[in-house]
Amino acid sequence: MSSPLLQTVTSTPTDYWNDSCSVEELTYAIGHGAVGATTNPNIVLNVLNKEMHLWEERIHALIADNPTWSEGDVAWKLIEEMAVHGAGLLHPTFERCNGHKGRLSIQTNPMFYRDCEAIVTQARHFNTLAPNMQVKMPVTRAGVMAIEESTYHGVNVNATVSFTVPQAVAIAERHRAGIRRAREAGVAPGRCFAVIMIGRLDDYLREVAHDNRAPVSEADIRQSGLAATKRAYSIYRQRGYEAVLLVAALRGEYHLTELAGAELIMSIAPAFQTPFVTKDFPREERIGLPIADEVIERLEAMPEFRRAYEPDGMSPADFIGFGATQRTLSQFCEAGWRLLESFA
């Protein structure tokens, strides 16, 4: 079922996920057609700040019942329980759609971004928490290896901390390899959703342009994430990848309308949901409209854009050094997980 929110833009099957596991926000989103939701350490921390009254008693009980647990142990148990609760809200959708929709994404420990084995071990554990759980893992070199291994073990993967065409291609290739291994072993492979954090790429390239005095305008920068997403989408269609693109970190309605007509998923932050629901967008498919050649030419004056836009702009070993990856991992580790650990 296509989301009523996005049917105002396109009649093709673009699905809508809620970029939060807040009870209030997720309930609102499901009521407006959301068929999935996601968490990460920053989201969980924000949920606690908004809905502490729902979790305070449980936090005290966890601490009292487990006196030998560290703050991190308490925090992870809370993350798991919050994810299970969100999965419960989505379970009717999961059942109605025969398991194809209605899943809640839970993120592996962001500190594991260099450790494939640790990511896979945690992913397999998270996969047991609820029938409609899927697991987020970062698109670093270790992360793309974990995508293949997790797919082989039947884990549904949400590949996050991803901003670029080469990352999107690496996700799909590793997922395809995991599918092949699973089928050879007679195992049902996991599905995969390949994230492009479209606004985070814009944010990063804006700072690069400013620092290097690059000859690009703000209008050019606002099309950089769109350019990468449209190119990745075209490659996915050409190669018939099994993975599905998931666009996250939208910064405005232009990220929605310029991708209208695409068969992908939009993960929409609660702050944008009401405007997107209430505004009357025109029905116009724009996914096939290319970014103007002159815009691409100006953006390609920046090496960092070329790394993001060209399918061979980076190898998996390079992903960890890409600026947007470093910024996002730092936020997840330090501004998310570390604060959440001390919060709990």
Give the model confidence (pLDDT) of 156-207 as tens digits: 999 999 999 999 999 999 999 999 999 999 999 999 999 999 999 999 999 9
pLDDT of res. 297: 97
Q: What is the pTM of this model?
A: 0.94
Residue 1 has pLDDT above 50, yes or no: no
Average confidence (pLDDT) over 250-258: 92
Phi first, then psi, for residue 196 (nearest 5°) are: -125, 115
Q: What is the pLDDT of residues 271-315, one digit of tens each?
A: 888 777 677 777 788 999 999 999 999 999 999 999 999 999 999
The residue with greater pLDDT, 10 or 104, is 104
Choice among 74-83, 89-98, 191-200, 201-210 with the minimum mean pLDDT: 74-83
Choice among 23-37, 41-55, 116-130, 317-331 with the minimum mean pLDDT: 41-55
Give, in degrees to the nearest 5, the angle at Cα 274 between 97 and 220: 100
pLDDT of res. 175: 98
Overall number of domains in the chain: 1
What is the CATH classification number for the domain harbouring 49?
Answer: 3.20.20.70
pLDDT of res. 281: 72
Phi first, then psi, for residue 110 (nearest 5°) are: -60, -20
User: 320-338 burial, b for 16+ CB within 10 Å, e for fewer?
Assistant: bebbbbebbbebbeeebbb
Share of the chain above pLDDT 90, in %: 76
Structural domain boundaries enclosing 65 = 4-343
Distance, in Å, from the CA atom of 342 to the CA atom of 74, rounded to the nearest integer, reads: 10
Q: What is the pLDDT of residues 116-128, one digit of tens each?
A: 999 999 999 999 9
Q: What is the pLDDT of residues 42-75, one digit of tens each?
A: 888 888 888 999 999 999 999 999 999 988 898 8
Q: How many CB atoms lie within 10 A of CB 83?
A: 24
Q: Contact 44/78 with Cβ under 8 angstroms?
A: yes
Residue 341 has pLDDT above 90, yes or no: no
